[in-house]
Structure formats: C-alpha cells, structure tokens
Amino acid sequence: MNCFRKLPGFTRTPAGLETRVLRKLPAIALFGTIALILPSIVVRLLDWGDVSHAALTRIGMVDIYVTGVVVLHWTVVFTAAIFAFIVFVMKGPAYVADAYALVDADKPAGEGRSQA
C-alpha cells in the first residue's frame, strides 16, 4: 500500500521567496554572528593589557550584551527558517487522504437515534 499517493491533476506551486530565504539563512546566521561578536573583540583589543577593575567590568558588560544579541539573532534566524520551511512544505504536492467512513445523520446519536 502506498501511503503517499499524489493527488492527480495537482499542479505544484512555483517556488517563491521562501526558497531564497532558506538558501540565504546559513550565510545570514554565520555572518550575522560574526558581525555581532565584533564589539566583544574590539573592546578586548582596546583594553589590551589593562587589568584594572574598570576595564574588566567594561569587557564583561560588552560580553553580556553580545551574548544576548547573538542568542536573539539565532532565535530570529531559526524562526524565519521554520516559517520558510512551513511555506515550502505547504507549496509541495497534494496527497490523497485515506477515506473515512462518515455516518450521515440529521440528528446526533443521543437524540433517540442508535449508533450504527
């Protein structure tokens, strides 16, 4: 038995924006992460060799902000990937569902009608 029988006569919808988004997302994730990590690298280079409390506090605060923004970036990229994948799947071929025998009745079974 073939579980996935395609609906005859169904024309597949052409790929649109979702395919371009799915192809660009790995590069967006990689280069976006690199760009967001740059402030942390810059603050370390500017405070190179400085072990004062103020410099270490500044580095720590920048690292906390960078970590939060990077996690937010990854979350946005992952959400966009889920959205684009759902649209991609919905544009795919249609499949024939299995038949489900439905009892056709004018009244529900509880109102003087026995179940068949």
Instruction: Report pLDDT digits (tens) over 50-80.
Output: 889 999 999 999 999 999 999 999 999 999 9
For the chain, the structural domain boundaries read: 17-90
Alpha-carbon torsion angle 42, 44, 45, 46, nearest 10: 90
Instruction: Mark the ranges of the chain whose per-residue pLDDT is less than 70.
Output: 1-3, 98-99, 109-116
Tell me what pLDDT residue 96 has. Answer: 76
pLDDT of residue 36: 97
3-class state of residue 17 by DSSP: helix
